[in-house]
């Protein structure tokens, strides 16, 4: 048996001409660092849960991704974060609307491992994280001038006035939600997702990244999935658990299942985004229906790929 690991740094369709090659190169480095951190855990026979948390934690600290430091802003100019983790024995932890926890994914993990609950929100989640000894920081830790400018532009454009199915300010952004999926050398699966949500979201908005079954799912019988995209539509399609259901109940392999949901069902619902998924056999799937998805993967055969938003992939 071999190990496999994939990480993502968000899916989207960056508006024409907005991709900066230097930033993309840095983002690629961030993805590679995260893959290496998770891979080191797995190569040392560590558990999949440790690996996905090690990878996601680094991406949270990296201001070029929309999670932790560098998260996008809500309409009230606050940064509010969601995260979740799940292991293949179907134990889960999730947090939403965090403003002061440096690593939301570690807060979600603490919920999984040390709370009687599975899902904690807001100040209650922050109080639990503090009790558990996790690092709380001043909100200035997360601040980011580029993200704040994105908010101001969205407010000027009136993008906060959205219809239920409409386009959102976050749709086209490069550098989004982060996540990881892994299979370890014992065959256990895990998934983790962390995000700042969408630019100009309402305060208190919770996206799929905090919703077990939508943004994150893991089941050793089928697959582990971390999603990135238009969170509202992803919740309404229960994206991550649906991919697992297609594997378990319909007998699709993980690639076919992930592609059916991302390339067909989500497209039918005008929901832009993608997923990373790992099957029980370690096979990875990384489909997206947007212009690009920042991602890195170490396949079970040892092959490694690292792709930020490549200009030549945009606007297909």
User: Which residues sit at the interface with a second copy, rule CB under 8 A?
Assistant: 86, 90-92, 94, 96-97, 112-125, 127-128, 162-164, 166, 168, 201-207, 211-214, 217, 231-232, 235-238, 241-242, 245-246, 249-250, 269
**Nearer to a second copy among residue 68 and residue 93 (C-beta):** 93
| Shortest spacing between CB 119 and a second copy, in angstroms | 4
| Shortest spacing between CB 307 and a second copy, in angstroms | 30
Task: Give me 228's structure tokens.
Answer: 């990135």
**Nearer to a second copy among residue 211 and residue 307 (C-beta):** 211
CA distance 72 to 17: 20
**Nearer to a second copy among residue 101 and residue 314 (C-beta):** 101
| Shortest spacing between CB 125 and a second copy, in angstroms | 5
**Nearer to a second copy among residue 236 and residue 305 (C-beta):** 236
**Nearer to a second copy among residue 22 and residue 249 (C-beta):** 249
DSSP-derived letter for residue 35 is: H
List, in order, residues 6 or more apart from 195 with CB less than 8 Å away. Answer: 66, 67, 71, 81, 82, 83, 176, 177, 178, 207, 209, 215, 228, 231
**What is the CB neighbour count within 10 angstroms for residue 302?**
9
| Shortest spacing between CB 255 and a second copy, in angstroms | 17
User: Measured at the alpha carbon of residue 79, what is the angle toward residues 75 and 84, in degrees to the nearest 5?
Assistant: 120
**Nearer to a second copy among residue 40 and residue 118 (C-beta):** 118
| Shortest spacing between CB 115 and a second copy, in angstroms | 7
CA distance 214 to 217: 7
Catalytic: which of 13, 177, 193, 195? 177
| Shortest spacing between CB 181 and a second copy, in angstroms | 17
**End-to-end CA gap in the chain:** 37
Identify which of 12, 73, 11 has the alpha carbon closest to the alpha carbon of residue 202: 73
List, in order, residues 6 or more apart from 234 with CB less than 8 Å away. Answer: 207, 208, 214, 215, 227, 266, 271, 273
Task: Give me 45's structure tokens.
Answer: 């026979």
List, in order, residues 6 or more apart from 116 with CB less than 8 Å away. Answer: none
DSSP-derived letter for residue 100 is: S
**Nearer to a second copy among residue 2 and residue 123 (C-beta):** 123
| Shortest spacing between CB 93 and a second copy, in angstroms | 9
Q: Is 177 a catalytic residue?
A: yes
Query: What order of strands is seen across the sheet that includes strand 223-229?
Result: 216-219, 223-229, 273-279, 284-285
From residue 30, give the alpha-carbon distance in Å to each of 25, 63, 156, 159, 269: 9, 10, 31, 30, 32
**Residues identified as active-site:** 177
């Amino acid at each position: 048996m071999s190990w496999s690991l994939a990480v993502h740094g968000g899916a989207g369709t960056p508006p024409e001409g907005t991709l900066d090659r230097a930033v993309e190169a840095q983002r690629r480095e961030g993805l590679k660092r995260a893959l290496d951190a998770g891979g080191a855990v797995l190569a040392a026979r560590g558990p999949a849960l440790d690996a996905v948390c090690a990878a996601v934690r680094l991406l949270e600290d990296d201001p070029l991704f929309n999670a932790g430091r560098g998260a996008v802003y809500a309409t009230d100019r606050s940064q509010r974060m969601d995260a979740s983790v799940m292991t293949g024995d179907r134990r889960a932890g999730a947090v939403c609307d965090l403003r002061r926890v440096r690593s939301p994914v570690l807060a979600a993990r603490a919920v999984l491992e040390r709370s009687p609950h599975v899902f904690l929100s807001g100040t209650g989640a922050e109080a639990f994280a503090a009790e558990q000894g996790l690092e709380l920081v001043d909100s200035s830790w997360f601040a980011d001038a580029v993200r704040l400018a994105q908010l101001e532009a969205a407010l000027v454009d009136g993008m906060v006035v959205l219809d239920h199915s409409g386009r959102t300010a976050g749709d086209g952004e490069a550098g989004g939600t982060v996540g990881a999926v892994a299979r370890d050398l014992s065959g256990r699966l895990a998934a983790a997702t962390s995000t700042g949500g969408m630019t100009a979201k309402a305060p208190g908005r919770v996206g799929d990244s905090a919703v077990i079954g939508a943004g994150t799912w893991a089941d050793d019988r089928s697959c582990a999935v971390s999603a990135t995209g238009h969170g509202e539509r992803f919740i309404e399609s229960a994206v991550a658990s649906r991919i697992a259901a297609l594997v378990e109940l319909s007998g699709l392999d993980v690639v076919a299942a992930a592609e059916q949901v991302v390339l067909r069902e989500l497209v039918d619902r005008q929901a832009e985004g993608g997923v990373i998924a790992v099957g029980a056999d370690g096979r990875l799937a990384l489909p997206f229906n947007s212009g690009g998805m920042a991602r890195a993967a170490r396949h079970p055969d040892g092959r490694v790929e690292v792709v930020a938003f490549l200009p030549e992939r945009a606007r297909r």
